[in-house]
Structures are given as structure tokens and as C-alpha cells.
Amino acid sequence: MVAQRQLVLVAGAGAGLGQSLLSRFEAGGFQPVGLGRTRPDDTIGDFHTLDLTDAVLVPSKIAEIIEAYGPPRVVIHNTSELVIAPFSATSLGDYQRTWASMVQTAVLLAQATMKPMVQNDGGTFIVSGATASLRGGAKFSAFASAKFALRGLTQSLAREFHPAGVHVCHAILDGIIDTDRSRDLHSLDPGRMMKPEDIAEVYWQLSHQPQSIWTHELDLRPASESF
């Protein structure tokens, strides 16, 4: 392993927030490494295409990355699987797919990175949540049930690993993130959407909080968003 910049590892580093996170941390002097199912057209840093639900491939790939760059200083879980459908039209497979995409991936990511971070004097582990982390809406039963589970997992990780020096934070993104895909999906004025670069700036700030004032959970939303 060659001594390099501190590693930021983003799981779910697709176009939009994922790439904005890598860009912000690279600008701050970090070595950016992204993981995801699909490689964006323009990628920041080192990108690895893989199924983040794979219980064999994920730990193996992260071990390779740590061998190359050293233990991560910042790990960000940003995967998502949105299912919008009436309960009667939501299959068991939909629930299993959303859980695997958002909870199983977080478990595998934490299992592969927490110990190296603890052994390297700590770090920051940030999880991207959503409005559905706090309340389940009609036609969002699959998505909300997985986001609730992800929030509970994050709380447990925080209570276990804060004393060991790993800052675990759950960020509730209460709004629509401004991406090409979300503009196609939602008929919403871009001025009322969350800018991915602004979210990335908050994640940067979270990763640099002194231990005396660690935030476990915060919510971010546009000024126009009702709550």
C-alpha cells in the first residue's frame, strides 16, 4: 500500500448526489472511491461497478480498496430503491428488493469498514435517509419499511461505534434531489429541489465535526418544502 490521501468511500455513487459527494471530498483533499451498480458517464476518482447486495463480492472488493488506499476516513451509504405502488400491487419481491438495496447494503458496508476505521483512530459513517425514514406514506409501504429499518440500523451502529471513535450520522433528505432523472420523474420546479452539491457540503461538514458536538441525525429540506 502506497501512502496516499485519506480515503472517502461512497456506496451508491451514481449521477447526482453520489458524484457530488465524491467531487466535494476530492476538492477537500480526499481520495474518492465510488461503488455502484452502474458507472455514470462522468465519474470522479476511482469507480467500481458491483452489486452492493452481494455478500461475497462487497467485502472482497472493499478489502482490495483498503489494501490500495488504506482504511477509509469517511464512508457514505447512499443507495436507494424507490417503489411507488398501492399496497395491493406491491409484491413480496418489492419488499425484499428495497430491503436488500437499502439495508443489506448498509450492513455489508459497515461490516467491511467499521473495524478498519476503529483500528485507524476512527472516522465518519454517514447514511442517506429520506422523508420515508420517519413516516410511511400511501403507496410507499416497501420504500418506507426499508428506510425505517435503515434508520434503526444506523442508530444501533451509532450507539456501538461512537465510543470507539466512529461518528455515525443519519441524514434525512426531506425533498427531491435535483438530477436529470428526478426532473423527468417529477413535475417539479427545479428551484424547489435539493441541490446535490449543497447536500454534499453538509456531508463534508458532518465529517469534520469535533467529537464534543457530534450530530447523529439531521434533516435537510428546501425552504419551500412543507413539514
| Percent of the residues in the chain that have a pLDDT greater than 90, as a whole number | 87
Q: Give the per-residue pLDDT at 1.
A: 46
Is residue 227 in some structural domain?
no
The boundaries of the domain holding residue 211 are 7-220
pLDDT at site 2: 47
Half-sphere exposure of 53 (CA within 13 A, CB side): 13
Judge whether 98 and 83 are in contact, CB under 8 Å. yes
Q: Where are the alpha helices (DSSP H) in 16-127?
A: 17-27, 57-69, 92-99, 105-119
- Establish if 2 belongs to a structural domain: no
- What is the chain's mean pLDDT, rounded? 94
Closest CA to 79 of 60, 115, 61, 54: 54
The half-sphere exposure of 169 on its side-chain side, counting CA atoms within 13 A, is 25
- Domain tally, the chain: 1
The CA angle 132-211-5, to the nearest 5 degrees, is 90
Task: Note whether residue 1 is domain-resident.
Answer: no
Contact 145, 225 (CB under 8 A): no
CATH of the domain at 216: 3.40.50.720
Per residue in 145-193, pLDDT (tens digit) is 999 999 999 999 999 999 999 999 999 999 989 877 777 666 777 778 8
Residue 43 is assigned to a structural domain of this protein: yes
Domain membership flag for residue 191: yes
The residues, any chain, with a CB within 8 Å of residue 3's CB and separated by 6 or more, are 70
pLDDT 10s digits, 119-138:
999 999 999 999 999 999 99
**Within 13 Å and on the Cβ side, how many CA atoms surround 142?**
22
| pTM given for the model | 0.95
Instruction: Tell me whether residue 226 is in a domain.
Output: no
Q: Can you give the pLDDT at residue 185? A: 67
In a domain, 225, yes or no: no
At residue 171, φ and ψ (nearest 5 deg) are: -105, 115
84: its cell numbers: 411507488
- Let me know if residue 212 belongs to a domain: yes
